[in-house]
Amino acid sequence: MAATVQPEQVVARVPSASNVSQVWDIDVPTMERFLQDLEKKNAVRFTAQQLCSFTNNYSKVLGSGGFGVVYGGQFPNGVKIAVKVLKKSLPHERAQRQFMAEVSTIGRTCHINLVRLYGFSYDHLMSAIVYEYMENGSLDKYLFNADAHGIDGNKLLDIAIGTAKGIAYLHEECQQRIIHYDIKPSNVLLDANFNPKVADFGLAKICNRENTHDSSIGYKGTPGYSAPEFLLNNYPITYKCDVYSFGMLLFEIVGRRRNARVGSIDSLDWFPKLVWEEYEKDELATMILSHGIEENDIERAKRMAVVALWCVQDSPEARPPMNAVVKMLEGGVEIMPPPKPFLYLFSVGINLLNPPIYTGNSSDNSTGNGTHSNWYKEHSTRIMDEYKIQVASSSQEKEDHGSSYAEEKSRSVDSS
């Protein structure tokens, strides 16, 4: 059985990225073996009494979700924490899986845009996960509460970019790819400076990067954010389901409203469809203005809207990988026009495997180093433009006057 730690040892022993065992690699992991592995690798295990003391007897509720209640608290040295106590009503096996998924995935990550895990508690009475405290809570409250529209357009774009970087890290930079499966505004937390961190890895599952899909899983995520492939039997589920959910989140950032207001996708008030219609008519800017977005934020909002349209493409392959999404959001590249999305919603018999419009040739494996030319084109710089002009005129001159004069011209560009 893993030993517990004293409160004063806690902060010095915060687990690091590589500390947590690969539970999903074990055929039928027993909980105790999993916990022993965690402890051996230096993850902090707290007792229920310690957590009770850190949270002042669970006196401050920060929020609650499908899997439990989150309480505020602090370590004896004053470092603030958030403690997620997992619901006891969950069936035992589901609770264990939820717990192991959350601890094992967050425990192996380390990125400025991912929420940090400090430790955990597990006994027959309760299981809980201890995170760093995020002063400004979750993004949803700034997008959807009329009285909390305090974040300006520039900061919202930064939040979108930071969130995209966090997901890109999970997909591309971890030793094993991590799919989040539940990207949405309530799972993006904001620190004291409104820097975003992706949270709530409870549904996440680690998969080998070589295994490009996992068709064994059932429905995951939250309706309204989860990708259409979850609705199809035996359709391969890849990390691109997170890209779709991120696109839905981006629409909500652009509109500063929930995508669906009356809960029906057939309703006219489904924001993503409206964005597409206005984009098609080349009237995105007018529509965005009518949503109360300030004039000087229009360009940023338009960029986010177009990236969102790319992220929610019906075909997972047509969606850009998250590192391309980061580039597109950051600007400085020319974003290609996205094909029409949501065909699966408004047409009968659409085959998602062979979407009729998308003609790109990207492979779902080509995330890291592959070409992103389906989604964007690098802008050439002024110097490059000048050089191209010089080269073009040089070759013309070569034809006209022979090579020596052209070489001279070209050298003058290099030295300028």
Ligand X SMILES: Nc1ncnc2c1ncn2[C@@H]1O[C@H](COP(=O)(O)OP(=O)(O)OP(=O)(O)O)[C@@H](O)[C@H]1O
Site for ligand X in 210-229 (CB under 6 A): 222
User: Using CB under 6 A, which of 115, 159, 178, 406 touches ligand X?
Assistant: 115
Check binding of 14 to ligand X (CB under 6 A): no
Tokens linked to 276: 């597409």
CA dihedral (349, 373, 246, 272) positive or negative: negative
Candidates 127-135, 149-157, 249-257, 323-331: pick the segment binding ligand X (CB under 6 A). 127-135
Catalytic site includes residue 242: no
Question: DSSP of 366-410, one letter per residue?
Answer: TTSSS--TTTEEEPPPHHHHHHHHHHHHHHHHHHHH-HHHHHHHH
> What is the footprint of ligand X within residues 44-63 (CB under 6 A)?
62-63
- When the beta carbons of 142 and 279 are compared against ligand X, the nearer one is 142
CA-CA distance, 319 to 239, in Å (whole number)?
10
Distance CA 67, CA 330 (A): 34
Q: Identify which of residues 222 and 374 has a Cβ nearer to ligand X in the complex.
A: 222
By beta carbon distance, the residue nearest Mg ion is 200
83-121: b (≥16 Cβ within 10 Å) or e? bbbbbeebeeeebbbbbbbbbbbbbbbbbebbbbbbbbb
> Rounded to the nearest whole angstrom, what is the least distance from the CB of residue 113 to ligand X in the complex?
14
Q: Which is nearer to ligand X, 137 or 331 (CB)?
A: 137
Instruction: Give me the catalytic one of 37, 140, 158, 182.
Output: 182
| Residue 186 is a binding residue for ligand X (CB under 6 A) | yes
Q: Which does 393 bind (CB under 5 to 8 A by kind): Mg ion, ligand X, none?
A: none
Q: Between 54 and 276, whose beta carbon lies closer to ligand X? A: 54
Q: State the nearest-atom distance from the C-beta of 227 to Mg ion, in Å.
A: 18
Q: Cβ contacts of residue 205 below 8 Å, gap of 6+?
A: 24, 101, 105, 178, 179, 181, 214, 217
Tokens of 13: 């022993």
Residues that bind ligand X in the complex, under the rule CB under 6 A: 62-68, 70, 82, 84, 115, 131, 133-134, 137-138, 182, 186-187, 189, 199-200, 222
The catalytic residue positions are 182
